[in-house]
A and B are shown apart, each in its own frame.
Chain A
């Protein structure tokens, strides 16, 4: 019996094999979105837990990796929604300490703030596409939307970002 068939049948050993095979990949993906190692670890475990809970509904002919990534992406998006109002990007991960002028440092801080304030569904696309350089197809698959919708959201994210910066008095 194939590994995915055993997983779908509820075999815990098969689940463990899949967990060990994909935990690093899921963690890296979630980390790119939430940028916090502790949160990324929690969300990775939660994603696998949800996958395990839904094992009976999984078709072994389908792509397990894509299915798992979509679960993890939705969890990360939920996390962005919850943290949106009061948390900025962690400084240690968001920006290296560069020997720049105070103006440049301030500009970066303003941009980070504006980025953190983006609506989560735009921010996740901007994060993955503009910052992490993921392809439209990859982002679309993870979010369960079309590549066209990804393009549209990215364009809107940049437009919102530009408006926010202009409102804050920063030329962009």
Chain B
């Protein structure tokens, strides 16, 4: 799981997290007791099905964004107009 999430764990961490996640997952198993047949998943709050209000989309128009330099200035390493990263090699 840590690898999928791009996390590197020490052996000790892996052991602690393993035990903690097991107990959390065991608690989450209680959801299996709920009858969800025929129930729609609630993927978002903003729809009328649960009392929410649908939100309109705005026009898809391009607008100028003038913070490019400020954003690149935050980067650990950049060469205008790009971010720089180490070599990309398949693991």
Question: Do A and B come from the same complex?
Answer: no
Q: Using a CB–CB distance below 8 Å, which chain B residues touch chain A?
A: none
Q: Using a CB–CB distance below 8 Å, which chain A residues touch chain B?
A: none
